[in-house]
Amino acid sequence: MAIGMRQLGDLTVSAQGLGCMGMSQSYGSGDEAESIATIHRALDLGVTLLDTANVYGAGANEELVGRAIADRRDRVVLATKFGIVRDADGNQSAQGDPTYVRTCVEESLRRLGVEHIDLYYQHRVDPDTPIEETVGALVELIDSGKIRYYGLSECGAETVRRAHAVHPPAAVQSEWSLWTRGIEDSVAPTCAELGVGVVPFSPLGRGFLTGAITSTGQFGEGDMRRGLPRFSDDNLAANLAIVDALRAIAERRGDGVTPGQLALAWVQGRGEHVVPIPGTKRRSYLEQNVAAAELALSDAELAEIEAAAPAGAVAGDRYPAHLQRNVGR
């Protein structure tokens, strides 16, 4: 099993990365030993890009990733994020003023146990701080050697252009999968035009496109999918038609390919500047995901996959309203 390399702007990374969030939050309880073993296995398979954030597990995920890479830092392109702020009641907002940026990077460097961060994203755009000021602070961090490159996450196309005018971002991270196609209207074309990489998170639809989820009763305590509209009983039942279509295509191939691998290969094929970061906390799923990076799809298969999940056909919004308002600024 091998995996190729791609470019996020001037930053060279593996063609697929590993999202580490679920090791510490959002999808039920974690297993640190298995999570660290999964990170090590990813590196052994040629995955270089590891993705975390200061808000994942309230810092615990950065600490976990830091422990996992302590003796193999030179093999990792390390990405983390700042900018999501949660109050005591769990309400979420965004912050990006220069003082906050400088404070966050020092905290992340300490938790990760590293001297520099390779790719530092603004997790959500602060509506009260001009993006030019945030990028200015990030450029200072580049100049001081604390970060190598910066990126943006879940932003709008105009924000990408304004940020690029100050200093080109290496990448824009956003949800992109067969059932989340919103960035195709303007963000993805803008990134392609400007030479900015795209890093799709949740390329497997938070696990839905694997076919393993058929009922909301499968979600344990603390699983964020319980509160996402697409996973409500009615919407989940309607959306299963997408998985059924993927399963039929996979069965016709007859080479052991899974519905999830087809969905991931579709994202992988959006362009050479696209580097998906499927998240997992288990080695077995990691190996399936990495195999999809080299999966060749015929034109006929691509057309059939597109027809199974046309943009706008998915039942339910991505997020409830209080989370959606922070997306696309």
Any idea where the domains of the chain sit in the sequence?
A: 5-206+265-297
> Is the separation of the CB atoms in 16 and 278 below 8 Å?
yes
CA–CA distance, 14 with 78 (Å, rounded to integer): 12
> Is the separation of the CB atoms in 82 and 54 below 8 Å?
yes
CA–CA distance, 2 with 162 (Å, rounded to integer): 37
Helix axes 299-308, 259-268, angle to 10 degrees: 110
Architecture of the domain delimited by 5-206+265-297:
Alpha-Beta Barrel (3.20)
Q: Which candidate in 27, 56, 121, 285 is catalytic?
A: 56
> Is the separation of the CB atoms in 11 and 271 below 8 Å?
no
Low-confidence ranges of the chain (pLDDT < 50): none
Based on the residue annotation, tell me whether 150 is a catalytic residue of this protein.
no
pLDDT at 99: 98
pLDDT at 2: 66
> Is the separation of the CB atoms in 317 and 229 below 8 Å?
yes
pLDDT at 326: 72
The pTM score is 0.95
pLDDT at 124: 96
> Is the separation of the CB atoms in 69 and 50 below 8 Å?
yes
Query: CB count, 10 Å around CB of 232?
Result: 16
pLDDT at 98: 98
- Residue linked to tokens 């994942």: 56
